[in-house]
């Protein structure tokens, strides 16, 4: 379940990107009741895309910001309370790691759902039911 964190260079102090990914990953797991799950934990992956100042926009105008995007099976982030708690916490994490300089209204997030049966774990495409079985074993 990849998480993509896209940042304008300089919105977080240097080196805080890894801290952000670790905290956002743990938040995702926590809000889905899967902290420490041996199957799901290693399958929540992430990467950071760092864009130079002058290459990020909102409303067609230059902006310094952060973007969090998740790609998950359709059962993840399906509950409104999980959406509110996870994405709310992700925004707070980035705001805090910026020492308050990255305004919350310059942190955007969204979730994308994968087609059932296209999610790979351990190199095999699994349906939502098969993922559920694997996760319940972990």
C-alpha–C-alpha distance, residues 47 and 44, integer Å: 11
Domains within the chain, CATH numbers bracketed: 3-137 (3.30.429.10)
Q: Over the chain, what is the mean pLDDT?
A: 94
> Can you tell me the distance from the alpha carbon of 126 to that of 54, in angstroms, rounded to the nearest whole number?
40
% of the chain at pLDDT higher than 90: 82
Q: Span 57-69, mean pLDDT?
A: 97
Strand segments, DSSP code E, in 30-118 are 46-51, 57-58, 61-62, 66-72, 107-113
pLDDT in tens, 23-54: 999 999 999 999 999 989 999 999 999 999 99
At residue 62, the pLDDT reads 97
Query: Chain centroid to CA 58: how far?
Result: 20
Residue 61 to residue 36: CA distance in whole angstroms: 41
Give this prediction's pTM: 0.92
């Amino acid at each position: 379940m990849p998480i993509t964190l896209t940042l304008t260079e300089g919105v977080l102090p240097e080196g805080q990107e890894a801290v952000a990914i670790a905290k956002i990953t743990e938040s995702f797991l926590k809000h889905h009741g899967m902290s420490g799950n041996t199957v799901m934990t290693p399958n929540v992956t992430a990467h950071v895309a760092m864009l130079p100042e002058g290459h990020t926009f909102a409303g067609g105008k230059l902006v310094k910001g952060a973007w969090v995007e998740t790609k998950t099976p359709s059962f993840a982030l399906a509950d409104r309370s999980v959406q509110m708690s996870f994405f709310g916490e992700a925004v707070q994490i980035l705001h805090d790691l910026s020492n308050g300089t990255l305004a919350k209204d310059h942190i955007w997030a969204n979730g994308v759902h994968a087609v059932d049966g296209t999610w790979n774990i351990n190199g095999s495409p699994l349906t939502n039911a098969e993922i559920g079985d694997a996760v319940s074993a972990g």
